[in-house]
Amino acid sequence: MKAPVLFDVTDHIATLTLNRPQVRNAMDIDSYRQLSDSIRRASADPSVSCLIITGTDPAFCAGDDIKILSGEDQPKDSQGQPMKLELPGGALRRCSKPIIAAINGPALGYGLEMAVLSDFRLASERATFSALYIRRSLVAPADSWERLPGIVGPEAAAELLLTGDTIDAERALALRLVSRLVPHDELMPAARELGARLARNPPLALEACKQAMALARTGDRKELRKHINASVASLSGTDDYRESIQAFRERRDPIFRGC
């Protein structure tokens, strides 16, 4: 049986690939749980600088498996009780590393949610996007309501969330839902190139910047300033800080060790 989520770490980049192509990477209870575990695993790994989330072609993620929506998919735990659905939103929000969504095809329902929760969104020309919850007589998860207006603006967010319409990659780029649109075959190389640029930076500073981004979204300037001041004080005493100064003086690339 194929794993529903593939996990690989190469050159300090963790790549998490949704791997149920027969159902366009629609998510069932097991794949949601494995994705959450993989995000936490990458976040806790000191050798990982950033994450890429993508899907096995032909889709990024088509949202919930119909068996979840119909109530058919109800695995039991060791006590015979129905297992709770563990969505990866919390793991994505708490992830200490930058997250790149490499959107290789349809990102529908929770697929769009995962893209919105990522820090970077790159798309191939095959990508499409839909917050289709309203068409299932449901309401999109809270993260869409909180984050989409800040990404595409309140009116465009309302159009996506209240119509459930599907937009193509060109429209997504025009709305700034994605930052870059590339030919399909160039999507993963582009995502890995961005990941490599992130991984060249000192790990502790990268994590501090990721946390600053999360605090900035809350609008709490006091907590943001407190975090920045504490981070600068802490980072300026690290070996990586001293290495950055020494490398500048010696006109060479720095070698950061995360300490």
CA distance 258 to 256: 6
% residues pLDDT > 70 (the chain):
93
CA distance 99 to 119: 5
Given this model, what pLDDT does residue 102 score? 98
Q: How far is CA 31 from CA 5, 18, 128, in A?
A: 6, 8, 21
CA distance 115 to 177: 9
| Maximum alpha-carbon separation in the chain | 64
Given this model, what pLDDT does residue 196 score? 98
Positive or negative, the CA dihedral 224, 116, 2, 66 is positive
| Beta-carbon contacts of residue 71 (< 8 Å; ≥ 6 apart) | none
Does residue 109 form part of some domain?
yes
Q: Virtual CA dihedral for 79, 85, 91, 92, nearest 10 degrees?
A: 160
pLDDT-derived band at 59, boundaries 50, 70, 90: very high
Tell me: do 40 and 88 sit in the same domain. Answer: yes
The string of pLDDT tens digits covering residues 132-189 is 999 999 999 999 999 999 999 999 999 999 999 999 999 999 999 999 999 999 999 9
- CB count, 10 Å around CB of 11? 10
Distant-in-sequence contacts of 207-210, Cβ < 8 A, 24+ apart:
207/96, 207/97, 208/234, 208/235, 210/95, 210/96, 210/97, 210/98, 210/119
Tell me: do 186 and 233 sit in the same domain. Answer: no
Tell me: do 123 and 243 sit in the same domain. Answer: no
Tell me: do 225 and 212 sit in the same domain. Answer: yes
Tell me: do 106 and 84 sit in the same domain. Answer: yes
Q: What is the DSSP string of 3-15?
A: -SEEEEEETTEEE
Amino acid at the residue 195: G
Tell me: do 96 and 84 sit in the same domain. Answer: yes
Q: Any idea what the CATH number is for the domain that residue 70 is in?
A: 3.90.226.10
Tell me: do 207 and 195 sit in the same domain. Answer: no
Q: How far is CA 167 from CA 54, 127, 171, in A?
A: 19, 9, 6
CA distance 167 to 164: 9
Number of structural domains found in the chain = 2
Domain of 124, in residue numbers: 5-199
Tell me: do 146 and 87 sit in the same domain. Answer: yes
Does residue 62 form part of some domain?
yes
- CB count, 10 Å around CB of 81? 9
Given this model, what pLDDT does residue 73 score? 57
Given this model, what pLDDT does residue 67 score? 74
| Beta-carbon contacts of residue 110 (< 8 Å; ≥ 6 apart) | 27, 61, 63, 64, 87, 141
Tell me: do 164 and 187 sit in the same domain. Answer: yes
Residues in the chain, total:
259
Residues 124, 184: contact at Cβ < 8 Å?
A: yes
Does residue 38 form part of some domain?
yes
Minimum mean pLDDT among 60-74, 108-122, 144-158, 167-181: which range?
60-74
End of a domain among 199, 216, 235?
199
CA distance 243 to 239: 6
Tell me: do 185 and 129 sit in the same domain. Answer: yes
